[in-house]
Amino acid sequence: MELVVLGSSAAWPDAGRAAAGLLVRAEGFAVALDLGTGTLSNLQRHLPHQELGAVVVTHRHLDHCLDLYPLTVARVFHPEPLAPLPLHAPGGVFERIVALEDEDQAEEMRRLFDVREIEPGAGFEVGPFEVSTRLLPHMVPNAGLRIEAGGKVLVYTGDTGPSTEIEALAKDADLLVSESSWLETRDDLGPIHLTARQAGEHAARARAGSLLLTHLWPGLDRQRAIDDATAVFEGVVRVAEEGDVLTVGD
């Protein structure tokens, strides 16, 4: 299983970066996990958009799904008709994007996607991947993802505050891709995101093989994020960088 980082920023893209997004490939099948602001451009460095097999979105915040809109436009203007693209997401994700257009265009957008609403806690298959989900705490329903293929396990949190559900989802995973929005807790906003240290603590308790920190606030000191997570997690810690290609389990 191969993982490509499409975007690593939280909320809005840091200079030269994109918001949340990953591309996962196995057995010739490619699925995007979140498509936040700017990720479609980076995706096309690795794969023509029409070769995507599916998209999975963790929740409806725009820094995780906004580039569904340019993907729709690209599919509208593709020279050959494209079959509806499977889109697995909690309720309300696609309708938030559809609302950017008038009703006629919205109907065309709906024809281009096969929307499959997921309830966090349910599982589904997409290509060669077995996907299980858990509801992780955030401002809106967020589906943390556990993705298995070829005997390897990748876990992606989407956005989450601290929770034992992260450890249940990531138990013995080869790679935990965890949001790490902050370096210090933000009491003014509540437990809706993780610090890098908290991400490391969850990885340690889950006995994950390695940890990839992503969804970092623009301007955040990325080396300190690695240092904070490494202080509490003995496995390999990396920080996500746009264009990184990782083999899950290495």
User: Of how many residues is the chain composed?
Assistant: 250
Q: Over the stretch 142-181, which tens digit does the pLDDT of each residue have?
A: 999 999 999 999 999 999 999 999 999 999 999 999 999 9
Beta-strand pair 29-35/21-26: antiparallel
Percent of the chain with pLDDT over 90: 95
- What does pTM read for this prediction? 0.97
Sheet architecture: strand order including 21-26: 113-117, 85-89, 54-56, 29-35, 21-26, 2-7, 245-247
Rounded to whole angstroms, how far apart are CA atoms 87 and 56? 6
Percent of the chain with pLDDT over 70: 100
pLDDT reading at 63 higher than 90: yes
* Closest by Cα among 171, 176, 175 to 194: 176
User: pLDDT value at position 189?
Assistant: 82
Q: Work out the pLDDT band at 18, boundaries 50, 70, 90.
A: very high
Query: What does pLDDT average to over the chain?
Result: 97
Rounded to whole angstroms, how far apart are CA atoms 3 and 149? 12
pLDDT reading at 21 higher than 90: yes
Q: Over the stretch 188-242, which tens digit does the pLDDT of each residue have?
A: 888 999 999 999 999 999 999 999 999 999 999 999 999 999 999 999 999 999 9
User: pLDDT value at position 187?
Assistant: 80
User: pLDDT value at position 86?
Assistant: 98
User: pLDDT value at position 56?
Assistant: 98
User: pLDDT value at position 250?
Assistant: 84
Q: Work out the pLDDT band at 80, boundaries 50, 70, 90.
A: very high
Q: If you search the block for the tokens 């943390």, which residue do you land on?
A: 144
* Closest by Cα among 214, 204, 213, 135 to 173: 204
Average pLDDT over residues 80-106: 94
Q: Work out the pLDDT band at 186, boundaries 50, 70, 90.
A: confident
